[in-house]
Chain A
């Protein structure tokens, strides 16, 4: 096991806790958690259901606030930041790939991929349209650009989600069971895609998974149990 706490880490958590509720009904989901992620790492986050994986991912994605501790990413203190700052940071530096893809159903594949850029700029820039087209081409969906996402298969939807996560060229992509809802072939395609992006662009990934094969494909593996990191090796 190696303890990774370098000063120039992409993100650092120190003594981080998350508690839901208070008093006798308080549930301690994360307990005194220390973690660092280096740029370019592809890390698997494993653990049983209810171990705290999703909560950790939500905190790292700035969707959920920790109860105590320190949380810094790219030099910014995200523990004390206000909602507007967190939203802007999330948009610029973090990409998401969810288990159930979570695409906007009334929009085309291209519009979904463009969303992070367009919502930041306030309008759809031609440059964003070109980049979104390139990304869809890169994930093998060049012929599905104008399709409503409701017309796509599960694997295709997840590839659109990957393209969307890459749209703003984020420093970190958080993937929560990205292949959990796909058949074996689609799961392999998506995992190969994530690995290829990691190799080619050096994008940092943190992938929550129950699948040992996916975890084995990652360069680092962190196991979490009862809100604590119980193993961390690479």
Chain B
């Protein structure tokens, strides 16, 4: 064992009570760090699950055709107001292979073709305007987890069935097994049976959306072999921008990450993450100040011993190393204790998807336990440098004479 390490260890074990108290303070700060990380991360996940959970993380659509080249007269400027095309042939043709390609990209969990248009549901004398989405039956739960949100019926689509939200079903007096007429904006109509009623918690989808089989949707909207978009769910929603850029580079199509379509949510998450960073920084600052002040007191108390060591041939560098190791050991002990405390405290919290109203959204996986311990050790080591340097400069004659 290196001699400086042995001396540092002996200093710590010589006064177990004081060392335990100091390590407990560090452990508490580490626990706060871990708890804040888990809470901020969990809160972000909860927000995303409750909002982004029903949205695609990335959507891929056909790029608009290039603008015609305008040649303004000399000295003049051409102003162009561009409007997205409303023609029915603007979707993507034969997008199946593209979907399969996207699904092989790293970070992509699922990709699904969608046809989206407007329409009306007609039930007796009642008429309700709805957003109609045609989904691939075998990828029904790729974006919205219908299988977890069904109130009645099953999460399944055939050419003769549709799924609607519970609010819409109430408004139109519909239930599973009832028939309803769906008329598209093209003027085409189809009569379908309600196969399932869901409630996913997003008002607009529960109240004004109908989901049908993609083949039925293509017929209804006169767009054979076309899809409106490819909806993509990622393994980690935080990689949306990077993945969207990769898809654009690979396919030449327009890929839009959720951070653009839900900008306010993104801003809120960024602000929340910054708040968490500030709180975690304060926890680290507490560790640094606590250890630095404690080691300052320790070096003062051990002045005579430092003087003896210097008289016996210990160099200034050796004294610095002894006290820096002391700081590091306190960091490791406090860090590991805080990590264990954090883990034990956080494990009983329910998983994010099971969090009920009023419960803290804690995500243990985002507790940054390893990072917390590593940062604490680093902070404690750095905090020890100043007291260690002060100790190394103690005058041995003065110190021994005390």
Query: Which A residues form the contact surface with B (CB < 8 A)?
Result: 58, 61, 63-64, 83-84, 87-88, 90-92, 96, 98, 102-107, 115-116, 118-124, 164, 168
> Are B308 and A102 interface neighbours, CB within 8 A?
yes
A-B contact count (CB 8 A): 64
User: Which residue of A58, A96, A98, A119 is within 8 Å of B314 (Cβ)?
Assistant: A119
> Which residues of B, 255-305, contact A by the 8 Å Cβ criterion?
304-305
B219 within 8 A of A: no
The chain B residue sitting closest to A164, CB to CB, is B312
> Are A87 and B314 interface neighbours, CB within 8 A?
yes
User: Which residue of B14, B310, B400 is within 8 Å of A98 (Cβ)?
Assistant: B400
Bound-state CA distance A118–B4 (Å) is: 10
With a CB–CB cut-off of 8 A, which chain B residues contact A102? 304, 307-308, 311, 400
> Main SS of chain B's interface residues?
helix
Bound-state CA distance A91–B397 (Å) is: 15
> Are B2 and A116 interface neighbours, CB within 8 A?
no
Bound-state CA distance A44–B217 (Å) is: 112
User: Which residue of B3, B4, B313, B316 is within 8 Å of A88 (Cβ)?
Assistant: B313
Bound-state CA distance A164–B308 (Å) is: 12
User: Which residue of A96, A105, A106 is within 8 Å of B312 (Cβ)?
Assistant: A96
> Are A124 and B313 interface neighbours, CB within 8 A?
no
Residues of B within 8 A of A (CB-CB), count: 24
With a CB–CB cut-off of 8 A, which chain A residues contact B313? 87-88, 90-92, 116, 119-120, 168
Bound-state CA distance A3–B217 (Å) is: 119
With a CB–CB cut-off of 8 A, which chain B residues contact A98? 400
Contact string against A for B residues 363-402, beta-carbon threshold 8 Å, 1 for contact and 0 otherwise: 0000000000000000000000000000000001100100
> Are B305 and A104 interface neighbours, CB within 8 A?
yes
| Contact flag A96-B11 (CB < 8 Å), given A122-B2, A122-B3, A124-B6 | no
Q: Which of A84, A102, A164 has the most CB of B within 10 A?
A: A102
> Which residues of B, 124-157, contact A by the 8 Å Cβ criterion?
none
> Are A61 and B311 interface neighbours, CB within 8 A?
yes
Tell me the minimal C-beta distance from A145 to chain B in angstroms.
17
